[in-house]
Amino acid sequence: MFTDDWDKLTADQRFAARMDAWQNTPIEFASPDVAGAFRERVQLWRDAIELKKPARVPITPWIGLFPLRYSGFTGHDAYYDYAKLGQAWDKFHADFRPDGLAMTIAMVPGKVFDILDYKLYDWPGHGVPNDASYQYNEREWMKDDEYDLLIADPSNYWQRFYVPRMFGALEPWQTLAPFTDLCEAPFTAPFFVPFALPPVKQMLQKMMDAGDAAMEWLQAFIAIDGKQMATLGIPQMAGSSTKAPYDILGDTMRGTRGLMLDKFRRPEKVKAAMERLVPLAIDWALRSADATRNPVVFIPIHKGADGFMSDDDYRTLYWPTFKAVLLGLIEQGLVPMVFAEGAYNERLEAIADPDIPKGRMIWMFDDTDMARAKQIVGARQAIGGNVPGSLLTMGTPERVDAYVKDLLEKTAGNGGFFLGTGIVLDEADPACFKAFCDAGRTYGAAV
Amino acid sequence: MSNELKEAVIELREDDALRITDELLSSGADPLTIVASCKEAMDVIGQRFASGEAFIPELIMAGEIMKGITAKVKPHLAAQAADEKLGTVVLCTVQGDIHDIGKDIVASMLDIAGFDVVDLGVDVPVTTVVDRVREVQPDVVGLSGLLTVAFDSMKATVDAIGGAGLREGRKIMIGGAPVNEDVCAFAGADGWAKDAVGAVELAKTWVGGA
């Protein structure tokens, strides 16, 4: 890892070691100035996270397909044509120079999805128009009577029940035995028998083809992000991601509606399943973070927003296992960057939990009262976000400027603030987006 | 009226509500009184939602219980006249957007409130909306969307309804998480609502039922 004595380090020492590693990422920068700009930008992040006053408020919008549209390309281009994706990224970052890169990982590889016959989502040319982004197919991908299977052995449940539904090409995995069968000589041959079946062989071939397509995507991704970092000195927004256990179940397994009904019909099983998912959610982020050397963990959260449940349910159902994930990440020196989509006004007291170490995570908000968020959550953790997508799409540069000025005056005075958007931007008026960045640079240095 | 049934629905005790329904039906109770009890219960849940004491899961669970009760009561209601409807609403998620949860909740709340709801589904092309509006002649058209791409689709749909000469005598409302005053003005809709209860209130105001 980052030090020889990692196991003996405290969480604070691990945080410092990871931050140092991020700031000194081994990149061949285009010039010493660019190298300096990279270090300065990471310092903005570091100061804001630690609730200090940075030299300037970091400008960290969530960016989706906007760069593609800005360059005259489509969502289909983003997911299938890495040359166009690279061009769009070059132009966007050179023109706007935010303090975190657009999230290339969200530019998913259509070819991999095609090979695997991915069912969970529709994507451009495959169920949604070419200029749209990928969209989730809300369905009960996990059945209501499968909680016990999930709780007993999540890996087995994933491999033999959930994944074969998720990918048409992986349906034959249902016929395979669990890997846990493999523990003694006589059990070995029976485990391998299904691999002789033609559908399983075809499945393995498709997995290898998907691997080739995924490798092509990864190489493009590394080249595109690497170029932005080396020539502009802009760090990646995050080095890993994970999810809240309630959202893992509610987003793509039981579905929003399914999980809401489970809350009434089988509450104990929902809790047991979430507890089972905690170590998986921590491990998921940790493996990527160790590889990327970027300590920021992107965590979009959805199904605990205002209106989605009562405050009591939030505190007893949603928060305990999410908090366990956050604490597990912070213990490893990682920095959860939570994106609370929707409104979080009713949750501010709950998430300002004194058990979460101060200055060790970031709460990015959407449709939340930012003055209250600053007062309640901002006293313990960095906050940010909130600039509405509708304003950046349909507003005027003057209104954007006034909005950002007011937002920063309310929230950024004593540091601990990230200027960001309330949504992942798939479209924006370039003049409005420029006004957003310019206002961040002007008022973000002055407050 | 059955207070026992009403309480069970309000408290979202699904098994009890279904058992009481069975008992009432087998004891020869008037099925319309069962429906009346449920409506009263749904009114209470709707009020609790509006005042911030109940939330989307409670609305969905209540809708689920209603569905179960309706299935039991329906065979007994066949000969009864349908209730008078407050009005008709054509509802959909606009082109390019496949999110259905918000739209579905609005549809079920409108239905419970006494509207005839024609749900066109998700990712509905502009021409389909225009055709169905021409055919159904609703009092209200509801357009839902969660993505920013939906803003353009909402505007295109509103414009097309106007272009086909179908705005006269009806109102268009829009809704969805990112929808606000700006989006409403951009799309040229008559109104917008933040949630399902707001949508029902708006529709009621328009048809003169509130």
**pLDDT tens-place string over residues B89-144:** 999 999 988 888 889 889 988 887 889 999 999 999 999 999 999 999 999 999 99
Banded model confidence at residue B81, pLDDT cuts 50, 70, 90:
low
ipTM above 0.95, yes or no: no
Q: What percent of chain A has pLDDT over 70?
A: 100
Task: Return the HEC string of A10-70.
Answer: CHHHHHHHHHHHHHCCCCCCCCHHHHHHHHHHHHHHHHHHCCCCCCCCCECCCECCHHHHH
pLDDT, tens only, A228-257 = 999 999 999 999 999 999 999 999 999 999
Query: How, if at all, do strands A382-385 and A121-124 pair?
Result: unpaired
B56 and A260: CB-CB below 8 Å?
yes
- Report yes or no on A1 lying in a domain: no
What gap in Å lies between CA A382 and CA A374, rounded to an integer? Answer: 8
What is the rounded average pLDDT of the residues A258-287?
Answer: 97
Residues B128, B71 share a domain:
no
Please indicate whether, in this complex, the C-beta atoms of A308 and B195 are within 8 angstroms of each other: no
Q: What is the pLDDT of residue B98?
A: 83
Whether B197 and B105 map to the same domain: the answer is: yes
B126 and B59 within one domain: no
Q: Do B99 and B200 share a domain, yes or no?
A: yes
> What is the pLDDT at residue B80?
54
Query: Which of B52, B77, B102 marks a domain boundary?
Result: B77
The DSSP output letter for A194 is G
Secondary structure letter of residue B124 according to DSSP:
B
Domain membership flag for residue A365? yes
- Return phi, psi of residue A57, to 5°: -65, 125
B37: domain range? Answer: 3-77
Cα four-point dihedral sign B7, B9, B11, B17? positive
Q: Answer yes or no: do B57 and A129 touch at CB < 8 A.
A: no
Cα of B2 to nearest chain A Cα, Å: 23
Give me the CATH number covering residue B21: 1.10.1240.10
Query: What distance, in Å, lies between the first and last C-alpha atoms of chain A?
Result: 38
* Interface list for chain B against chain A, based on CB atoms closer than 8 Å: 12, 14, 53-57, 60-61, 64, 95-101, 104, 123, 147-149, 151, 177-178, 180, 182-183, 186, 195
Q: Determine the Cα–Cα distance for residues B117 and B112; give it in Å rounded to an integer.
A: 10
Per-residue pLDDT for A311 more than 60? yes
Number of domains within chain B: 2
Range of A424's domain?
Answer: 6-446
Say if residue B169 is in the same domain as residue B201. yes
Residues B141 and B196 in one domain: yes
Sign of CA dihedral A261, A262, A266, A271: negative
> First-to-last CA distance in chain B?
24
**Average pLDDT over chain A, rounded to an integer:** 96
CATH code, A395: 3.20.20.210
* Distance (Å) from the alpha carbon of B200 to chain A's nearest alpha carbon: 17
Say if residue B136 is in the same domain as residue B182. yes
> Nearest CA to CA, how far is A401 from chain B (Å)?
17
Choose, out of B14, B45, B55, B104, the residue to mutate when testing the contact with A (most A CBs < 10 Å).
B55
Select from B77, B108, B124 the last residue of a domain: B77
Query: Which residue type, as a one-letter code, is found at position A261?
Result: L
Is A133 a domain residue?
Answer: yes
- Cross-chain Cβ contact A264/B151 below 8 Å: no
Examine the domain organization and report whether B73 and B94 are in the same domain. no
Query: Which of B207, B128, B114, B130 minimizes the C-alpha distance to B167?
Result: B130
- Pairwise CA distance, residues B87 & A107, whole Å: 44
Token pair 């809240």 is found at A244
Q: Assess whether B195 and B119 both reside in one domain.
A: yes
Contacting residues for B167 by C-beta, under 8 A, at least 6 apart: B161
pLDDT at A26 over 70: yes
Residue where a domain stops, chosen among B42, B77, B112: B77
Residue of chain A whose Cα is closest to the Cα of B64: A261
CB contact set of B13 (below 8 Å; sequence gap of 6+): none
Number of Cβ within a 10 Å radius of residue A376? 18
Same domain, B48 and B15: yes
Pair (B100, B61) in one structural domain: no
Query: Residue B71: how many CA atoms within 13 Å on its side-chain side?
Result: 8
In a domain, B82, yes or no: no
Q: Which of B148, B149, B195 sits opposite A307 (nearest CB)?
A: B195
> Is it the case that residue B79 has pLDDT exceeding 70?
no
